[in-house]
């Protein structure tokens, strides 16, 4: 077997592995959203993914690891997309606007993922701590940095602590998502970003 062929084979195999991982994660999001993490059985996820129970353990160490991976994968995508989207924007306030919009767009485009993020991921202090120390801290920091940047540029009031402002913005957006998920009425989530920013900017800009 030539190196080339082997390489292709390996590549294909890797892709196949990645695909099945993805399939399991997608299935897990669906199941967790519907039943909650603790009430979801590994067997449910396997069935949803169309594989055998045992196969799940070829890709994940444990049920817990699946939840972690759901979070990691989504957060990674979330952050990298966010970063690339704001990379070309020079104005800090426009950056924040983009971040806020993306936040709501993304979660409203995948309701199951939103449910897992807003509800299931918060069901244990243990996870919350890991969550908080992981991607979430990075996400909050991007907001903080952008606000600090805006202060330097003279856009935002200097008497406000960037980290507090970041938490306020994040908290407000987070609450919009949670309310949207739990609401019995169906409405567009994304426009809420500008509603939040209207207040936030008014409260933080010079």
Partner DNA sequence: AATGAATGAGCATTCATTCAT
Partner DNA sequence: TATGAATGAATGCTCATTCAT
Does position 40 interact with DNA (CB under 7 A)? The reply is yes
Does position 22 interact with DNA (CB under 7 A)? The reply is no
Distance, CA of 156 to CA of 204 (rounded, Å): 6
Q: Which of residues 141-180 bind a second copy (CB under 8 A)?
A: 157, 159-161, 164-165, 167-168, 170-176, 178-179
Does position 199 interact with DNA (CB under 7 A)? The reply is no
Tokens 């800009």 correspond to what residue? Answer: 205
CA atoms within 13 A on the CB side of 83: 11
Site residue total, a second copy (CB under 8 A): 46
- Shortest Cβ 45–DNA spacing (Å): 8
Distance, CA of 109 to CA of 132 (rounded, Å): 23
Distance, CA of 93 to CA of 76 (rounded, Å): 23
Distance, CA of 71 to CA of 132 (rounded, Å): 11
Binding site for DNA (CB under 7 A): 13, 16-17, 20, 39-43, 51-59, 62-64
Q: Which residues bind a second copy (CB under 8 A)?
A: 33, 36-39, 115, 118-120, 122-126, 128-129, 132, 157, 159-161, 164-165, 167-168, 170-176, 178-179, 181-182, 192, 195-196, 198-204
């Amino acid at each position: 077997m030539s190196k080339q062929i082997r390489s292709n084979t390996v590549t294909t195999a890797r892709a196949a592995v990645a695909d099945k991982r993805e399939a399991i994660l997608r299935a897990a999001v669906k199941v967790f959203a519907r039943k909650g993490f603790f009430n979801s059985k590994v067997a449910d996820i396997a069935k949803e993914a169309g594989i055998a129970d045992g196969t799940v353990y070829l890709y994940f160490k444990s049920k817990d690891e699946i939840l972690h991976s759901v979070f990691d994968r989504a957060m990674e995508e979330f952050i990298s997309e966010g970063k690339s989207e704001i990379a070309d924007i020079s104005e800090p306030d426009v950056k924040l606007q983009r971040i806020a919009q993306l936040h709501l767009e993304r979660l409203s485009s995948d309701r199951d993922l939103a449910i897992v993020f807003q509800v299931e991921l918060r069901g244990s202090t243990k996870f919350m701590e890991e969550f908080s120390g992981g991607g979430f801290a990075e996400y909050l920091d991007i907001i903080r940095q952008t606000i600090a940047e805006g202060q330097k540029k003279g856009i935002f009031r200097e008497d406000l602590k960037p980290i507090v402002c970041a938490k306020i913005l994040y908290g407000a957006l987070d609450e919009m998502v949670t309310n949207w998920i739990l609401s019995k009425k169906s409405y567009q989530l994304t426009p809420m970003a500008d509603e939040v920013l209207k207040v936030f900017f008014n409260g933080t800009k010079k």
